[in-house]
Amino acid sequence: MKKSIIALAVAGALAAPAVSMADATLYGRLHFQMQFVKDQDMNIANAGHRLGVKGESEMDSGLTAFYQIETEYQNDRSGTSSSGTVDANLKVRLANAGVKGDFGKVTVGRQSNPYSDIYVSDIFEYNSGVFENESFRMGNAVSYATPDLSGFGASLSFVADGTHKATVDTGAVDADGNAITTTDSTDNYNKDVDAYILGAHYEANGFYAAAAYKTAKYEKQHSDSLSYSDSMDSYGLGLSYTVNNFLAAAYWEKTKTDNANDSVKNWDLAASYTMDKTTFGLAYGQSKTESEDAAKRTMVGVYQNLGGGADVYAEYGAYNEKAGDGDNVVVGYRVKF
């Protein structure tokens, strides 16, 4: 009887905040991999455990306010096993809020990078997305995205991340002849707006195309800065087509920085075919500068949807010497909620 009363009390206590949080969604995943990498010990690793909350609500104006915060726990990626760990290595992936309506959407904070829309062939796991010049997320950012215009959409973002702490050569050397550096945290290395990102995409009848351009400009007034170039420009294109259970995807991009001898060009091809709940995939990609040989990666994988938010997969990746010669076999298990 006492246990029943206690259970009812606990249930009532839990129900109260659930009502006030009715518009919030808790989500996440646990993701594990058994990694067999050439010339390395086997590793049973955390492949990215995530926990997030997102939601939206209607404002008095009729517009919709939205928010999202998502964290990733990177514990147990390497090191010895123990009964517990304080090394959560917590990383904030997303932390943003904004407003949307018929005019489109405005988002501020750490958010998805619209440039990454071109990476349409990054659809696999451990061996996927190894040759990408830009990240999938960006912080200190504000973005505007248009509403859907018969399959077409566009966005404009800018990043303003305050003062960089640049590494500066003091002109002195230590006993071993190495340059002695110091940290300069003045505002002489960047502008108020550090980067602009422009993106556009079109989707219809299984066809998807995305194009993106990013430019970053710095006011580097010190000739002895070792950390930052004067500018960086990246642009790329991604294309994919889905018909029945078959998907083909490819992207190409080029990045040029002032302090580099030449530009970096990446391209990647991927294809997948799904039979019931089993997906088979393969991909090939390269990263090359004009003065060096290309880094190359080939991969194949099979992915099984187990239902209930769970899936299991196996991948094989082959890399040439320029790409690190990190041939591997990886088996993964993931549960989403």
- Tell me, yes or no, whether 55 lies in a domain: yes
pLDDT tens per residue across span 307-324: 999 999 999 999 999 999
Specify the pLDDT at position 190: 53
Q: Which two tokens stand for residue 202?
A: 């079109």
- Tell me, yes or no, whether 167 lies in a domain: yes
Specify the pLDDT at position 226: 46
Q: Are 283 and 255 in contact (CB under 8 A)?
A: no
Q: Which helix (H) or strand (E) holds 220?
A: none
Specify the pLDDT at position 143: 98
Query: pTM above the 0.85 mark?
Result: no
- Tell me, yes or no, whether 64 lies in a domain: yes
Quickly count: other Cβ atoms within 10 Å of residue 230's Cβ. Answer: 14
CATH of the domain at 157: 2.40.160.10
- Tell me, yes or no, whether 210 lies in a domain: yes
| Cα–Cα nearest to 287, from 131, 136, 124 | 131
Q: Which two tokens stand for residue 153?
A: 């959409």
pLDDT tens per residue across span 109-162: 999 999 999 999 999 999 999 999 999 999 999 999 999 999 999 999 999 876
Q: For residue 203, list its beta bridge partners.
A: 208
Specify the pLDDT at position 121: 97
Burial class (CB in 10 A: 0-12, 13-18, 19+), 205: exposed
Specify the pLDDT at position 328: 98
Distance CA 251, CA 270 (A): 9
- The segments of the chain whose pLDDT lies below 50 read 1-22, 188, 221-228
Q: Could you tell me the residue range of the domain that residue 71 belongs to?
A: 25-336
Specify the pLDDT at position 192: 76
Q: Are 300 and 269 in contact (CB under 8 A)?
A: no
- Tell me, yes or no, whether 8 lies in a domain: no
- Tell me, yes or no, whether 7 lies in a domain: no
Domain total for the chain?
A: 1
Specify the pLDDT at position 10: 40
- Tell me, yes or no, whether 63 lies in a domain: yes
- Tell me, yes or no, whether 20 lies in a domain: no
Using alpha carbons, list the distances in angstroms from residue 175 to 170, 178, 243: 15, 7, 65
